[in-house]
Amino acid sequence: MSVGIIGGGVWGSALARILSKNKVIIYARDENVVKSINEHKINPKLKYTSFNSNVSATIDINFLRNVQFIFIALPAQKIREVLKTSDLDSKNKHIVICSKGIEISSSKFLTEVIKDVVSYKKISILSGPSFSNEVSQDLPTAVTLATKNKKNFEEISNLIDNKNFRIYFSNDLIGTQIGGSLKNIYAIAAGIAEGLTLGENAKSALITRSFAEMTRFAEKFGANKHTLFGLSGLGDLILTCGSNNSRNTKFGIKIASSKYENFSDLLVSQEVTEGYYTVEAVYNIAKEKKIDMPIMEAIYNIIYKRYNLKEELIKLLNRPLKDEKI
């Protein structure tokens, strides 16, 4: 089988490793990354790992025109821009979205974005608690693969020859996307709580109530609540909020412990922080659909309106008492 990966970052390279029993072509925009992969079988952005002879790279996305499977591992806000300039239209391709986020400009899920810009035969979502560096080192990982039927699931499963990378089937494409997207927002909140040294009790409560907001949002789109209790929802939320290896958690810690005139300056200092962008999209959707999401709204106010951190926290704590519901 032939596999194309769109995205030459750490996640795209980690995916190339677990798919490397097949012929894999990585599309990357960085010429140095492409040269390093082709000449030395190493991506300089990804430590402690190398590729076998099946993996190569290209700076021309149209080299992926004839592959049977395309795995998309780009920042969510870049997907439309990159695919729109390609010539990848094909009714024979199986596209697997491995990115997490919601497009700000359109408030669309990534499946909808893909549908806008390229044709395909099948589409799936790969999501769950999966730090790239651990996947690339063959450390045990379990994720959700959401697709319309079991046959699609089996096709993707057969591409992966790695017992330490386990995938579970779901047919809930919307719920799987929502879990993977929204958890990044709440990881920023968890980072802020840590940066303000609010303690483990506060962080635990924050993660739990964040999960309630995620399920509330998902149900508005007809997602299956059980999906959110799985790897792509609760599993990813626990990983991202509970680890300082998370880019979004690190971002939250920096917000709480530093004074930046502009958060875009802070973004430049680290890798892509999807939660920064996703919170804007989710804020707009929640306002339109009247979804009660106070934690998400507080993060939006802090990042985009520059509201005071402690004042937003006090506002959350002073909300009316209510029954606990998930």
φ, ψ of residue 22 in degrees (nearest 5)? -100, 170
Distance CA 215, CA 41 (A): 42
Tokens of 205: 């409560």
183 has catalytic annotation: yes
Q: Which of 93, 100, 183, 250 is catalytic?
A: 183
Distance CA 8, CA 134 (A): 17
DSSP string, 203-238: HHHHHHHHHHHHHHHHHHTT--HHHHTSIIIIIHHH
Question: How far out from the chain centre does Cα 258 lie?
Answer: 26
Helix (H) or strand (E) holding 126: strand 122-127
**What is the sign of the dihedral through the CA atoms of 282, 170, 150 and 4?**
positive
Tokens of 244: 């300082």
Closest CA to 214 of 193, 199, 196, 236: 236
Q: Vertex 277, ends 320 and 102: CA angle to 5°?
A: 90
Tokens of 23: 């012929």
Distance CA 156, CA 138 (A): 18
φ, ψ of residue 51 in degrees (nearest 5)? -105, 160
Q: What is the largest CA-CA distance in the chain?
A: 61
Name 72's bridge partners.
6, 97
Cα dist. 322→76, 186, 286, 292, 318 in Å? Answer: 36, 21, 20, 13, 12
User: Which residues are tagged catalytic?
Assistant: 183
